[in-house]
Structure 1
Amino acid sequence: MSNKELLQEYSKSIKTLKKECAKAGISDDEFKQMYFESIRDLDDNLVNQNQSFFNKYKFLIVFFIIILFVLFVTYDFKSIYSCFLCNVQEYIYPGLRLLRKISIPFLSLFPSLTDLYQETCLIQNPFFTVVDMDCWPCSSINNIGEVFNPQPVHKLQVAPFIYKTDQPEIDILALKSLYIKNKDIFDKESSKVLTNNKYYQTPQDIFESEILKEYLYIWKFNHFNAARILRQIIPRPKIVPKFGQSTERFIIVDSKHDNFHIPDTECNFAFLLVLSGTRIIELQPAEECKHQCKSFKMELKKSYLLWYNWWYWRPTVPASKSNETFIAHVGSYC
């Protein structure tokens, strides 16, 4: 029964009771006095019930408060916090991975949801270091091996390695054709290209010019629609499991032939796939692990992929005397 029906039923019963009181010789003033006295009695009963409930469990409530106070006073708060983290920490990343898998169908149905994505860090701190960082994963690595039958990353060690993929060559003309074909989406979702690590240009300024200038271009993709279009010409590498690849990708076009750093990725497991050209890649250990881990240098040719963990290694590309344009794709896996 709805609230309106209950009020109507209550009003009807009061009117009936008033008529019966009038037949019994009770005046309207006496009826009103009796009615308000009954309401006051009802309020008093409710107050008494609440007080009796509090009196009944007062001892337990006070005892519980005292126990909590004693625990926080006598026991170290840091120990409680550390114990909580130790028990919860191992469930954080599996939970986030499960959430990522669940969100994929929703993003497919509603791609505009990716517009709500926020950058994890607007400005990076170049002086940030991890105190007492454990460098054992990279301290035992003596060389960078080549893998000939790559398996998904959860079946391989975390050490850096390279392997030749089935990725066909993609030159600047293929990128230009892809942009023109999907111009509306790219202009809306990936409208900024970092040029020479100094300023931004639009993809239209780059691809609609007759001649590609000798610049370093870093084109970042961070939306579902753009990443899905990019996957049409750059399929998911074999080393990356079916679920877990980050939406964030980078296309690097280097016609300047100067040294530059490969951008840090959203996930710590990252890969650098050469789409066109050949360049020397240097893997330098993180600042915290320079005293334990070695640096490596290798030549990465087209269709080759370098897999690494940027938590321990930071790839850089030194200057080159070659005249060919170097194009690479950077992605990551969580």
Structure 2
Amino acid sequence: MTLREVLSQIPDPRARNRQYPLWGLLALILVAFLSRVDSLRGVERFARANPHLLPHLGLRKPPGHTILTLLLHRLDPEKLQEALLQVFPGADLGEVLVVDGKHLKGSGKGKSPQVRLVEVLALGRFGAPTPNEPPDHPGPGQGGGEGGPSPFGAPGPPGGGGAQGEGGGGGRRVPVPGVSGEGGAKRGAYLFVLKGNQGELLEWALEVFKGMEERRLPGETEAVWNLVRDGEVWTYRVWASPYLPEEIRAFPGCGQVVRMEREVVRKGTGEVRRTVSYALTSLGPEVADARRLGELLLSRWEVENRSFWVRDVLFREDACQVRGVGAQVLAALRAFLVSLLHRQGVREKKAALEAFSFNPLAALRFLGLYAV
């Protein structure tokens, strides 16, 4: 379906004053965001500065800031996401899904809770980043298993696939795909990154690797490799062990614990930076050795690079002053644009948005809204 068709399906929450069609107002915001506008005030100024765009959007005159604000706070974010989903045809998301989350800065104020974003990316396919913020939705590391949050993608990893996530559940037991067998035939593996708020699990993971440098047991693997980039030498050293304490075995389906050391040496100054990360995985040593697990751990940054960076830096999402439900609606629209840029194979996103800002008609054509 075309973007205009799906936007026209969204229930209009306005009881009166419908001189501006709902689909036209939402499409105007999308075109403005592609043209590097980052606020509702900016959308209003954009519409006034580009009156030649309005007929393509079914608008007779530029809408004011109040019109846009009231609409966003009355719109149902879930209905919007369901509608936008129809723009993307069903597709196999591939073998590896990366799941990550963040809080939208400045989205909460007073009684308005802060908006949480959970994004899913299919590696190698440019995926479909998506927001999800029901009040009781589990954050990353607290859920997102079978049938997880993927408004612009398939729900959960396909058979034989794998999902990656980051710790954020404060040590809670985590439902993961492919472990309990619940939810039908869909199964998969996981690679779960541990952080400081996974206190007890992280402590036991540290215990596993004490003494591993001096002596390795059968089934334990190690890998070391170097990369040179931007005048720096990055050295990665990864260990994986299937010998798990009882406390870690209580984690659903855990097969190995992983440790990754990263050392970055600046060639010019000799400055050294070191970090250590730990993870749990359902993949056994017969399926994935330390090198493979290390590569998967590095791939978890794809959501940051392909989605969060685009939203924060290019779309300036964190600088948005809209709160509450309006922030959820705008997050859904930005996620749709990021997904569309990926689907269309746009790799130089900054250059693309700059080009759209100079020629908004090109943004209109990119969205399929140009009326001949």
TM tier relative to shorter chain: under 0.3
User: Which entry has the higher C-alpha Rg, 1 or 2?
Assistant: 1
Q: TM-score, normalised by structure 1?
A: 0.24
Q: TM-score, normalised by structure 2?
A: 0.22
More relative contact order, 1 or 2 (CA 8 Å, 6+ apart): 2
More helix by share: 1
